[in-house]
Structure 1
Amino acid sequence: MVSISRRTFVTATVAALAAPARGARAQEGSPRAGGRLSFVIQPEPTTLVCFNTTEGPAIQASTKVVEGLLTYDFELNPKPQLATAWSVSEDGLQYRFELRRNVKWHDGQPFRAADVVYSIGLLKSAHPRGRTTFANLLEAGAVDEHTVVLKLSKPAPYLLYALAAGESPIVPRHIYDGKGDPLQNPNNRAPIGTGPFVFKEWVLGNYVGYVRNPNYWDSPKPYLDALLVRVIPDGAARAVAFETGELDLGGSTPVSPLDLERFRSLPHLGQETRGYEYSPTLYGLEFNLDHPILKSPQVRKAIAHAVDPAVVLNVAWYGLGERTVSIVSPTLKRFYNAKVPTYSYDPKAAAKLLDEAGFPLRGRWRFALTHDFQPFGENFKRSGEALKSALAAVGIDVTVRGQDFPSYLKRVYTDRDYDFTFHPFTNMFDPTVGLQRFFTSDNYRKGVAFTNASHYSNPEVDQLFAQIAVESDATRRRALIDRFQEVVADELPVLPLMLSKPVTVYNRRVVGHTIDSAGVQGNFAEVWLRG
């Protein structure tokens, strides 16, 4: 792990930061050059450069061409990519990065500090999380052609963990600067980067083709001659393609859970659950606190007692996850607090709380609610049905309502015409970047998706996040994050139920596809194919 001293500058060197999984790769044998990898993503990305999106398929396609300053191992320790060394000042207000030398863009132009300075400014203005990540940035400056310094107005203890290619890609200044709106730049659809693969073509609705970068800075990588990023909308067709060997690799659970079960008996296919540590996602209930019934904490706690997370996990999600009690992912070991208030499955306790809240049974029902599920597959619909059954047992009549995604977003974030929903809460690598948007008062933004849809407002939580964002001392910061978890677990604007466990499916001839926390969002420079 990189040691960051608050008393002096401490530089992290390449020698001290050996790449992860070398031993594992050695056990697989020596890398073999050549071959083409067929990698599936779904749905088709809207861009091939992810400086302005958090869209998963776009990130998976983008990171093969553009790179970040750093990568992160399975424990989220920083490792070199375009930066070979870095240091943080004693007061946490200055970050210094030494850049890799002799790196060229795919068009032959040299990679320089000016590219990093331009990219940081672009990310701050265009990336959905950039305004948070770089909120305290005063200035990004080039000391020389291979040194960049970021000066901050206040400490940003999460910043060093935000510099992966999928989160903060470095783009070529000479392609973007002075060329009009960066969002409309042709490079977004035919990218030039520093990465191991060079863009060849994008056949819409079919595939994105990449070829080996012969001038890659980490020679002799990449080992593959070509990479074909396939778009196959139909899940059954994806499953058949894996079975026949047409597809080599796919992340984010590319086939149905039933197909996963069947694949376990096929000797040429393997499954991997590592490689999602950088952006873990929890699923849980998000309540509309403006609802006249759900504004009662007793009602929300009753619902918590009425729902058995094991049923949601095992029946609706086929066991592809694990139980969690806090809104912070248990994979974020630096932050997870398992000692928050919890609500065991107890329908009798739920009924008692509902009675006390003034909602006794009147015949079969106490009141009615509508559950809106996100239209991202049968898992969400099945979750709604499981919740309907659980709440019916305590006298709550739930209507499960589906709609297309734009209608869902408008209903929840603009019209606020919803009662509760089953929602993904992507933690990212730090609560400031991943969770603050769901819980602070200033993130209640009508019309803005994936913000504080519950309309939760607690001055203590607002103050906690303000401190968490700037607290440099790891022990004090952990205490603040622990307190945040305790408060929201007690007040329950959100009921966390499970941590998702996405699955990567791979042909066993593919080696080196999951070497760190980025998984298939990595650059595939290490990937090679057995003969």
Structure 2
Amino acid sequence: MLSLPLLSLPFLSRPGRAQPAADLFRVVTSQEINGLDPARSGYVFTRLQVLETLVGADDGGLPVPQLASAWTLSEDRLAWRFTLRPGARFHDGTPVAAAAVVASLERARAQTGLLGNLPIASLTAEDGAVVIRTTRPFAPLLAFLAHYSSGILAPAAFEDQAVRHLIGSGPYQVTRLLPPQRLEAERSAHWTGAAPAIARLSYLAAGRGETRAAMAESGQAELVAQLAPETVERLRRNPRLLIDTRAIPRTRLIKLNCASPLFSDPRARRALSLALDRAGMAATLLRSPASTATQLFPPAMAEWHVASLPPLARDLAEARRLLAQLGWQPGPEGILQRDGQPFAFTLRTFSDRPELPGLATAMQAQLREIGIAMKVAVVNSGEIPAGHRDGTLEAALMARNFSLVPDPLGTLLQDYGPQGGDWGAMGWSSPALVAVLEQLGATADPAARAALRGRAASILHDALPVIPVSWFDLSTAISRRVAGLAVDPLELSFRIAGSRWAG
């Protein structure tokens, strides 16, 4: 069904203007296709509307039907019953049966990931519906089912529990796949919803931000995501492009190995935070003063942003005082020393987010002002979770998306549970925070949930297992050849099926 040759990406030139294929919608982002499994590459397949999840989410994170047309919750709040969309078929023409959905979810649950961490007692197919029973009330279950790792595949997609064919149920089906960079798809003949006006699409992973901007500029793509801040103003002047910029639930932050003697004391983490010139970096490097992070959760996350928290700010004198309390004293060339060892570490970051290396270099200079020697290593993004797992990671600068599970609780459970998370805490846990997050999962009362969210935000603000740097503006370039395309602030879908060709 799929073409999987081991081909390299063709050379991308920079012509003045490319002649687009009349009916081909071209998407360019930085995110590579790391295989067929939804756990690894579902963020591409769901955004292209090839795979569907049981439940989706609207712009505000509220659940909306996808493969499930409706759902109910039992009075004891332990059993969820999902009615499947009538007539839904997979791309191979087979019906989307409840048993197939259960099998796909069971496989996802058995893997390391979100579903495996949920209090699920059983998954069953009953009278044509999917029934999920939990061991305790768990209010955010619907949000977890919207995560890309929960994408539903047809039975024929699997061989010995491994994904061998990408057979989903969305409005588009894959016709060609060239990992890690290319994918082509077309309208599915078995889609029973409104036929998409866009008949064909392609996807390209281009790592360099300037390459992506050049492709938007020259007409080589209809949608380009993850634009570098320094290219946005230039692209705004292009009459063939619409630039959509909006604040989203994502934060650039420093992940620390809190088990390291350098960072195990919260005073050391506080000192690092106090050394950062967030406002200067937001204004000069990100071209967005409003993105200065004063706490972990941005105002775009209204339910989690706590206005009363004391804002994170720069104070070099206080940073030096805290480090002196911990026994750090100036040594040769001004680098702090303790017990004969310098305060020195390596921060990993990656260029998929084109602004990160520049921010890392700026922070390197800022930390040097208080006597900390930080080396910057620009690596593949996969080296951050790998370093978390093997214990070699000292620090990392990254961007954390709090909306891949539309309820941010999903990300927090993943990042700040007892074992921490690949993109969250490392060598740090808080029984108080774990208890708050578990209560949030079991609580439906709005006032109680608001109080618990505030408590969770306060714990993270005080302990700083990760250090917020800046909030995130999502900038997307859209060709004016396209009409009716609404950017998804949660980054769950490119929404191509709902758009059309202009004119």
Q: TM-score range by the shorter chain?
A: 0.7 to 0.9
Q: Is the 8 A contact 1:72 1:517 kept in 2?
A: no
After superposition, the Cα gap between the structure-2 partners of 1:154 and 1:388, relative to the gap in structure 1 and judged at 3 Å, is same
More divergent stretch after superposition (239-248 vs 328-337): 328-337
For residues 69-108 of structure 1, the C-alpha deviation after alignment (integer angstroms, 9 at most, x for no partner) is 2221111122222222222223321112222112222222
After superposition, the Cα gap between the structure-2 partners of 1:105 and 1:291, relative to the gap in structure 1 and judged at 3 Å, is closer
1:390 aligns with 2:366: yes
The correspondence for 1:66, drawn from 43, 48, 51, is 51
- State the shift of 1:139 in Å: 1.8
- State the shift of 1:529 in Å: 0.8
The correspondence for 1:240, drawn from 214, 232, 236, is 214
CA distance in 2, matches of 1:212, 1:143: 31
Q: Is the 8 A contact 1:70 1:82 kept in 2?
A: yes
- State the shift of 1:374 in Å: 1.6
Q: Is the 8 A contact 1:513 1:519 kept in 2?
A: no
More divergent stretch after superposition (383-392 vs 354-363): 354-363
1:180 aligns with 2:160: yes
TM-score with structure 2 setting the length: 0.84
Count of residue pairs the alignment pairs up: 473
Question: What SS does the aligned partner of 1:391 have?
Answer: helix
Residue 177 of structure 2 aligns to which amino acid in structure 1? W
- State the shift of 1:286 in Å: 2.6
For residues 8-48 of structure 1, the C-alpha deviation after alignment (integer angstroms, 9 at most, x for no partner) is xxxxxxxxxxxxxxxxxxxxxxxxxx822111233431235
Q: 1:498: which partner in 2?
A: 470
Residue 458 of structure 1 aligns to which amino acid in structure 2? S
The correspondence for 1:136, drawn from 91, 116, 119, is 119
Q: 1:162: which partner in 2?
A: 144
1:65-214 to 2 correspondences below 5 Å: 65-126=50-111, 128-132=113-117, 135-145=118-128, 147-164=129-146, 166-176=148-158, 179-181=159-161, 183=162, 185-187=163-165, 191-203=166-178, 207-214=182-189
1:437-448 to 2 correspondences below 5 Å: 437-443=414-420
Q: 2:431: which partner in 1?
A: 459
Q: Is the 8 A contact 2:212 2:224 kept in 1?
A: no
The correspondence for 1:422, drawn from 376, 397, 406, is 397
CA distance in 2, matches of 1:171, 1:452: 32
Question: What SS does the aligned partner of 1:373 have?
Answer: strand
Q: Is the 8 A contact 1:86 1:98 kept in 2?
A: yes
CA distance in 1, matches of 2:444, 2:492: 31
TM-score with structure 1 setting the length: 0.80
Question: What SS does the aligned partner of 2:308 have?
Answer: coil
More divergent stretch after superposition (231-240 vs 383-392): 231-240
Q: 1:9: which partner in 2?
A: none
After superposition, the Cα gap between the structure-2 partners of 1:308 and 1:127, relative to the gap in structure 1 and judged at 3 Å, is same
Residue 450 of structure 1 aligns to which amino acid in structure 2? W
The correspondence for 1:287, drawn from 256, 259, 277, is 256
CA distance in 2, matches of 1:451, 1:351: 27
CA distance in 2, matches of 1:431, 1:345: 28
Q: Is the 8 A contact 1:198 1:212 kept in 2?
A: yes
* Structure 1 unaligned spans of 5+: 1-33
After superposition, the Cα gap between the structure-2 partners of 1:353 and 1:267, relative to the gap in structure 1 and judged at 3 Å, is same
Residue 204 of structure 2 aligns to which amino acid in structure 1? R
Question: What SS does the aligned partner of 1:333 have?
Answer: coil
CA distance in 2, matches of 1:289, 1:248: 43
Q: Is the 8 A contact 1:157 1:469 kept in 2?
A: yes
Q: Is the 8 A contact 2:349 2:360 kept in 1?
A: no
- State the shift of 1:318 in Å: 4.1
CA distance in 2, matches of 1:461, 1:413: 22
Q: 1:374: which partner in 2?
A: 349
CA distance in 2, matches of 1:320, 1:268: 28
Residue 159 of structure 1 aligns to which amino acid in structure 2? L
Q: 2:6: which partner in 1?
A: none
Q: Is the 8 A contact 1:69 1:165 kept in 2?
A: no
CA distance in 2, matches of 1:442, 1:405: 21
Q: 1:12: which partner in 2?
A: none
CA distance in 1, matches of 2:462, 2:25: 48
Q: Is the 8 A contact 1:107 1:192 kept in 2?
A: yes
- State the shift of 1:507 in Å: 0.4
Residue 364 of structure 2 aligns to which amino acid in structure 1? K
For residues 467-514 of structure 1, the C-alpha deviation after alignment (integer angstroms, 9 at most, x for no partner) is 233233332233222112212211222221222223221101212332
CA RMSD of aligned residues (A): 2.8
